[in-house]
Chain A
Amino acid sequence: MKRLLKISLLLLVAFFISEAVFAQDDEDFDKEDPVEELAKEVNSLKPGLSRFLMRGYAHAGVEFLQNSATFVGGSFNPIFLWQQSKRLLFESELELELTETGTELGLDYADMSYFLNDYMTIRLGKFLLPFGTFGERLHPRWINRLPSNPLGFTHSGQVGPLSDLGVEIRGAFHMTRSAWINYSIYVVNGPRLNDGGDEPEEGGKLHYNNYIDNNKAKTFGGRIGILPLNNSSLEIGFSGQFGKVGSSDTKYEDVGSQLYALDLSYVTRLDFMKSMLDIKGQWNRVKVDQASYPNPEDAAQSYSFENVSDAYYAQLSIKPAFVDNSFFNKLEFVGRYSKLELPTEAVWGGEDTQITVGINYWLDFRTVIKFAYQTLDSNGTEDGHNSLAQGDAFLVHWSIGF
């Protein structure tokens, strides 16, 4: 009996010991190599081929006008990028802005791009038009060197399109060892002619947000940019857009439009000033075929005029980025001359001249505080600029790209 008890006791001890040993082994087995654990963690964070990214820009400011001083802006432009694969990209930009009537939400663009080959991409949707460069490349607030836009390069008082719905083929290639060319050809809905039926004071104007086409004819356009220097510092661009603008089944259905733009960009280092020099310019011309519109002063009469509008600007900025002083190398000095010429015989016609000079302080490569003094010599046109300023004004804006 005693022997049996001893054997039982020994077996019990052996069982507990073995349990303890195996438990230890299990713990050792569960404990993984720290390098492998880290690799697993990194892999869990690694995105797949489909990637989503939000970028964008924002701005706010204060404007000292002739009769008032007001805070402005508070705008926020998120840009959504969805990379479906190495060849397919979706991009979209929203614009949330405070206006006099409340918060305004706009869709600047929403398009899909497919890279056909190394030198050619096809885009479909609502996209920024390569009509010159300001609307497509330079309008974001953190890129635009001044708080306001040039006359005629805004949503209001616009001369030339900013965006449209359609399809585009674009790309770039080197023509010689030093010169390269970028190109774009597109087909879009095109602008719509205001025939003055509902708004006689607007007769003859083009409206560019023609999201549902008013006729069967499509509008064709394109741009060729030439960069003749080996360091890509100079770019000269030629743009054109042609199409009918009148509504179907009206007497205006054969009225066409011819739009042209010439743009220039020159960015170079000035070693003797330890600075970067940036020159930008663009000239837009919009020509609409001759037509008669209701006379706003006498509804029974009609009137016609030579329907040609021009808007142009020239801008120069110098940034002493290479001086040793950490305050001065963040400054930038800017000057811009801008002019808007609308048909003088039209009731909405006239001529505006704007001169803006400014000093920017760059907190980093994408955050800037802009101080600018602006004069506006207006001769009859409507507001053609983003600022509230109708005369001389002092503008202070803060902009960030993210």
Chain B
Amino acid sequence: MKSKKYIINLAFGITFASVLFVVGCSSSKDVAVAKSGAQLWGENCVRCHNAPSPTAFSDYQWETIGQHMRIRANLTAMETDKIVDFLKMAN
């Protein structure tokens, strides 16, 4: 009985996430394109810690850090790329 409850909960969760995902992807690119890398850097880094100085790391280091932070902060690929491009340009 309890296993059935877990399966129902899981199925509900997956369905909910799938619907949100499909609905969300249609507008994701438009919104991300509208914001600059500097704006995304300023908005997203400070949600947890101080915004890092672009000069703190090299271009190649920013690329690896970008991948790490894309996972940790749950960013989309486009947002991550724009932030990393800004940091590489400004360092």
Contact = CB atoms under 8 A, between A and B. Distances in A.
Query: Are A and B part of the same complex?
Result: yes
The secondary structure that dominates the B interface is helix
A53 interface: yes
B2 A254 contact: yes
Nearest to B39: A231
B76 A118 contact: yes
Contacts of B3: 217
A174 B32 contact: yes
Contact of B46 (A138, A220, A224, A276): A276
A121 B71 contact: yes
B67 A83 contact: yes
B20 A181 contact: yes
Given A173-B20, A174-B27, A175-B23, A235 B68 contact: no
Contact of B64 (A53, A172, A180, A233): A53
Contacts of A177: 27, 30-31
Contacts of A178: 31
Interface residues of B, number: 45
B48 interface: yes
B54 to A, nearest CB: 11
A166 interface: no
A265 interface: yes
Contacts of B50: 362, 365-366
Contacts of B90: none
A172 B60 contact: no
Interface string B1-24: 011001001100110010011011
Contact of B25 (A47, A91, A119, A137): A119
Interface of B: 2-3, 6, 9-10, 13-14, 17, 20-21, 23-25, 27-28, 30-32, 43-44, 46-53, 56, 60-61, 63-65, 67-68, 70-78
| 5 cross-chain pairs, A with B, having the tightest CB-CB distances, nearest first | A182-B74, A173-B24, A118-B77, A365-B50, A174-B28
Given A173-B25, A178-B31, 17 more contacts: A79-B68, A81-B64, A113-B67, A115-B70, A119-B28, A133-B48, A170-B74, A171-B21, A171-B74, A173-B20, A182-B74, A185-B13, A231-B43, A240-B9, A265-B48, A366-B50, A366-B56
